């Protein structure tokens, strides 16, 4: 079955450490997205990519970085510059058409040690 795989499901970060969240899709979608969700809150867009080797900042990109070297993969790095990284991170992908929905992974929960 096609889908989006996020790993790990739980991740812990020490102070001053960078961590990378993995997102892989086998849906052959061009567009991929990263969102942050805080408890009881909605989704906030961190970064998105419409094509390989290209990506754009979303609403809360500071303290995060991404790469898009392959169509299937869109890893997110939470850097030490992100002072409040504890949150639930969701990756999504989508066929680049207005009538197509975003498809989501199961998320990664990041906590500070």
Partner 1 sequence: GNSVTQMEGPVTLSEEAFLTINCTYTATGYPSLFWYVQYPGEGLQLLLKATKADDKGSNKGFEATYRKETTSFHLEKGSVQVSDSAVYFCALSWIGNQFYFGTGTSLTVIP
Contact 71, 81 (CB under 8 A): no
Among 14, 42, 54, 113, binds partner 1 (CB under 8 A): 42
Q: Closest approach of Cβ 32 to partner 1, in Å?
A: 10
| Terminal Cα distance for the chain, rounded | 35
Number of residues that bind partner 1 (CB under 8 A): 25
Smallest CA-to-CA distance from 94 within 84, 108, 104 is with 104
Could you say whether residue 40 binds partner 1 (CB under 8 A)? yes
Neighbours of 42 (CB within 10 A): 7
Q: Closest approach of Cβ 73 to partner 1, in Å?
A: 17
Q: Closest approach of Cβ 58 to partner 1, in Å?
A: 11
Distance (Å) of CA 65 to CA 11, 78, 86, 96: 17, 7, 16, 22
Subset of 73-112 contacting partner 1 (CB under 8 A): 90, 92, 94, 96, 98-107, 109
Could you say whether residue 54 binds partner 1 (CB under 8 A)? no
Contact 71, 30 (CB under 8 A): yes
Could you say whether residue 113 binds partner 1 (CB under 8 A)? no
Binding site for partner 1 (CB under 8 A): 4, 6, 31, 33, 40-43, 48, 50, 90, 92, 94, 96, 98-107, 109
């Amino acid at each position: 079955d096609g889908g989006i795989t996020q790993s790990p499901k739980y991740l812990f970060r020490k102070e001053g450490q960078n961590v990378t969240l993995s997102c892989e899709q086998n849906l052959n979608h061009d567009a991929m997205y990263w969102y942050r969700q805080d408890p009881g809150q909605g989704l906030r867009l961190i970064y998105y990519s419409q094509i390989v080797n290209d990506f754009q900042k979303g609403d809360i990109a500071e303290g995060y970085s991404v790469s898009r070297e392959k169509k299937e993969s869109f890893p997110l790095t939470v850097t030490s510059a992100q002072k409040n990284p504890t949150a639930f991170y969701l990756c999504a992908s989508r066929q680049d058409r207005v009538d197509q929905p975003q498809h989501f992974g199961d998320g990664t929960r990041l906590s500070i040690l």
